[in-house]
Amino acid sequence: MNRSGFFRFMQRGLGLAAAVALAGAAYAQQEPIRIGAFLSVTGPAAFLGDPEQKTLEMYVEKLNAAGGVLGRKLQLVSYDSAGDAEKARTFAKRLIEQDKVDVIVGGSTTGETMAVVPLVEAAGIPFISLAGALVIIDPVKKWVFKTPHTDRMACERIFLDMRDRKLERIGLISGAGGFDKSMRAECLKVAPTYKVQIIADEAYGAGDTDMTAQLTKIKNTPGVQAVLNAGFGSGPAIVTKNFKQLAMNMPLYQSHGVASKEFIKLAGDAAEGVRLPAAAVLVAEQLPAGDKQKTVSVNYKKDYEARFKQDISTFGGHAHDGLMIAVEAMKRAGTTDKAKVRDAIENTKGFSGTGGVVNMSATDHMGLDLTHFRMLEVKKGNWTLVK
């Protein structure tokens, strides 16, 4: 190659590079905002991840149809972590390093969420978890937020209701999962505040198919006035069935971990009279007209049921709230800059979601209180609002 040939080659090469760079810049303006998600769409926690996934898909579509956010389209990058904390970690890594998402909304279970926390903290990416346990936001982690009520709030709400019904001595039965164990610990911790005594404390394993032995033990503990089951998945349905089989004539409380129609279907008649704290969305139509959550809950219910021909659960609602909080924060921040979005999420005030009215702060990365945590009772195979 002679000198002038080389020079020409360089010129052409530079021109090409410049063209590529220009095209890249133009493309970046069209670059979608990437919402990352890792959800338990299959596996033991599929009843959480499945409605969450559907909800995210539906609302990303809706937001895009309405012109997107900040003039950019949204793109959902979602992986199925199948209830496995190890997989959740791998997928979160991929979301951060490979897919370069702007925000993560996901983590169906506490185990999966906690496995990912160190990654998002190190990478500095806003993460809104859809899992229940208090440990996710207590102590506060800079980049981690969550939308569902905590297990401690579930205990508090249940104990409030027990106090109203003058139930003071109760039996506790819990499963072996992360949520189950965490809720059990929280209930034991806050019980004295509400003057509730836990006089029997039983456990069952994951995938157990019969809890009559444990319930018999509780039944034969003198003085038990009510039973509280901390758990989610198949366990509570079987506990409820066994509870009826043993003809235990006392109130049974479940956690918000079973707040879907699936539970009533599985437990059948035995579910009658069971009480549990849950987000308002389950009883959207029964809410009084002035309720702040009425519009958002009824709309979510309509959208979801029209699209998927499926009963709603509170879990899909948490995903709705998570996505909307992230989107609102981006709008307020006017950018997808991660640090600014994080600050905006932390400053979320008066956001009416399906789970409640959210007022976050530097010390509270969930922003919910007990007022919007409803006590429901199963009557004639349906949820009804207590009082």
Partner 1 sequence: MSAQLAQYLLTGLTVGAIYALVALGFAIIYNASHVINFAQGEFVMIGGMATVSLANAGLPLLVAIPVAVLTAAAVGVALAKFAVEPARGASVVTLIIITIGASILLRGLATLVWDKKLHALQPFSGDQPIAIAGATILPQSLWVLGVTLAIVLLLGWFFGRTLTGKAMLATSHNPLAAQLCGVNVRFVLLLSFGLSASLGAIAGILIAPITLTSWDVGVMLGLKGFAAAILGGLGSGTGAVVGGLLLGIAESLGAGYVSSAYKDAIAFVIILAVLFFKPSGLFGKKSAERV
Positions that interact with partner 1 (CB under 8 A) = 42-43, 46-47, 176, 202-205, 207-214, 216-217, 220, 233-234, 237-238, 241, 244-247, 262, 265-270
CB-hemisphere CA count at 13 Å for 131?
34
Q: Which is nearer to partner 1, 133 or 237 (CB)?
A: 237
Q: Which is nearer to partner 1, 176 or 357 (CB)?
A: 176
Q: Which two tokens stand for residue 81?
A: 């972590």
Q: Which two tokens stand for residue 69?
A: 């956010």
- Please state the closest distance from residue 278 (CB atom) to partner 1, in A: 19
Q: Which is nearer to partner 1, 40 or 150 (CB)?
A: 40
- Please state the closest distance from residue 309 (CB atom) to partner 1, in A: 15
- Please state the closest distance from residue 50 (CB atom) to partner 1, in A: 8
- Please state the closest distance from residue 262 (CB atom) to partner 1, in A: 7
Q: How far apart are CA 21 and CA 8, in angstroms?
A: 20
- Please state the closest distance from residue 173 (CB atom) to partner 1, in A: 9
- Please state the closest distance from residue 64 (CB atom) to partner 1, in A: 29
Q: Which is nearer to partner 1, 266 or 366 (CB)?
A: 266
Q: Which is nearer to partner 1, 262 or 369 (CB)?
A: 262
Name 36's bridge partners: 77, 104
Q: Which is nearer to partner 1, 104 or 267 (CB)?
A: 267
Name 382's bridge partners: 379
Q: Which is nearer to partner 1, 65 or 247 (CB)?
A: 247
Closest to 331 measured CA to CA, from 72, 106, 99, 100? 72
The 10 Å Cβ neighbour count of residue 23 is: 10
Would you put residue 223 in left (φ > 0), alpha (ψ -120 to 50) or beta? Answer: left
- Please state the closest distance from residue 239 (CB atom) to partner 1, in A: 12
